Amino acid sequence: MRTHVSALFAVVLAFFLLPLPTQAAEGDETLDIVGHAADGYYLAFEPFAKVELPRILLEENAQGNLTVGVYGTTAGALRSGNYNLIVEENGTPKTLTTPSEIDGAIESGKHLYGSLAPKQGSIVLDFSFTRHLVYGLLAMLVTALIFIRLAQRYKRGIGREEAPRGVFQNLFEAMIVFVRDEVAKPTIGAKYERFLPYLLTAFFFILFANLFGLVPYGAAATSNLAITGMLALFTFVIGQVYGSKEHFKHLLLGPEGVPWWVRPILVPVEILGLFTRHLALAIRLFANMLAGALVIFSLLGLIFIVNVVFGASVAYGASIPSVALTVFILLVKLLVAFIQAYVFTMLSALFIGMAVEEHHEDEPAPEDLDDGRGELTPEFGGDGTALEQRTRPQTPEPVAS
């Protein structure tokens, strides 16, 4: 019994540490955990079918001219005779060049996991549709449709001149008000209205992209670093375009009151920090969403590992805790979908607020507004009469004789 437990522990440890696909069953089938969570040029509806997506390739031919190759599927691109297929076998890249080899890879489905190599020239940019791109566009479409529908209701006065109607408007208005009052206002201040449309768009896009990763046959576009990086880039550009003079002065000259000989050290640190916090903004969302998918596939993969090590009877028993833990992780991911959308929006608002904040030296300090009785003095409390009396020349009282 102890030997079996040690063997199971060793297999599980290798399952999480080894980068190679784990053997799932007898034969050629493998369980590629990272491959299932990664992007691809197809939509997976297993065990029913896999729908290949269009391939759009910007290429440079042998003469140095740029050409565009458009194909309906990856298989169509290979059958055109213009490309070889590079696949990985036993951890080693292998190039398939002959029509028979390419047809065999297409029949087995291996071409979906390989890469195209032009027989002449090279690929400059790949504009092909991918799984994450499709679900990202779907999340963008859902976000646009919801806001268009809400805008039409507000235009008719529903929600402005009268109370919101229906579950749809009340549900999304609650989230919109939350982002406005709990995220934008406290972090950006008086200029929050200028940046509220971007914050709302980012929040709902990330939320729907995360939720699409929980539906059957779906994928989370936010588990792709290119998408989260572009969102972080939007935050960075907005912050720098609308940044105040104080922001750039602090960034390029260092904090005020610092000795001159310390500024050459602090300025590079400030500039580096500007980029690293936006880089962390992208990686945080990407890593959290990718990690959730990897954990789910890993828990389900334990069933196949137990089947290989101990047999089918033990695998049936192991499927009970494995599936139960998977359901629990899915519920946690549902919560994480909302949390990550909130965290990204909050940090974006914070970074934008730090950039657009303006410091006015002539503003009274908070302690100057206190008249000693715990109340604001009239001139700063908005009492116009008291302010007029304070600024009006005082007539000296007559001295009693």
Task: Quote the pLDDT of residue 27.
Answer: 38
Asked which of 42-51, 261-270, 372-381 is least confident by mean pLDDT, the reply is 372-381
pLDDT > 70? residue 301 = yes
CA distance 359 to 372: 26
Better pLDDT: 376 or 142: 142
Asked which of 65-74, 190-199, 247-256, 346-355 is least confident by mean pLDDT, the reply is 247-256
pLDDT > 80? residue 401 = no
- Percent above pLDDT 90 for the chain: 46
Q: pLDDT band for position 300 (50/70/90)?
A: confident
Give me the residues paired with residue 61 across strands.
none
Q: Which amino acid is it at 304? A: F
Task: Quote the pLDDT of residue 120.
Answer: 87
CA distance 219 to 223: 8
Better pLDDT: 292 or 352: 352
Q: pLDDT band for position 163 (50/70/90)?
A: confident
On the question of a cis peptide bond just before residue 364, with omega within 30 degrees of 0, the verdict is no
Q: pLDDT band for position 31 (50/70/90)?
A: low
Other C-beta atoms within 10 Å of 153: how many?
A: 17
pLDDT > 70? residue 167 = yes
CA distance 97 to 212: 38
Structure tokens at 389: 């009396």
Q: pLDDT band for position 32 (50/70/90)?
A: low
Q: pLDDT tens digits for 43-76?
A: 988 778 889 999 999 999 888 899 999 999 999 9
Q: pLDDT band for position 238 (50/70/90)?
A: very high
Mean pLDDT estimate for the chain? 81
What contacts 24+ positions apart, CB below 8 Å, involve 3-12? 4/309, 4/310, 7/309, 8/306, 8/309, 8/310, 11/305, 11/308, 11/309, 12/302, 12/305
Q: pLDDT band for position 34 (50/70/90)?
A: low
Q: pLDDT tens digits for 115-144?
A: 999 988 899 999 999 999 999 999 999 999
End-to-end CA distance of the chain: 113
pLDDT > 80? residue 368 = no
pLDDT > 80? residue 319 = yes
pLDDT > 70? residue 287 = yes
Task: Quote the pLDDT of residue 46.
Answer: 78
Task: Quote the pLDDT of residue 366.
Answer: 42
- Angle at the Cα of 314 from the Cα atoms of 313 and 315, rounded to 5 degrees: 90
Other C-beta atoms within 10 Å of 264: how many?
A: 9
Average pLDDT on 246-251 reads 86
pLDDT > 60? residue 291 = yes
CA distance 109 to 105: 6
**Cβ contacts of 4 within 8 Å, gap of 6 or more:** 309, 310
Q: pLDDT tens digits for 380-391?
A: 444 444 444 444
Average pLDDT on 163-180 reads 91
Task: Quote the pLDDT of residue 359.
Answer: 62
Give me the residues paired with residue 86 across strands.
95, 115
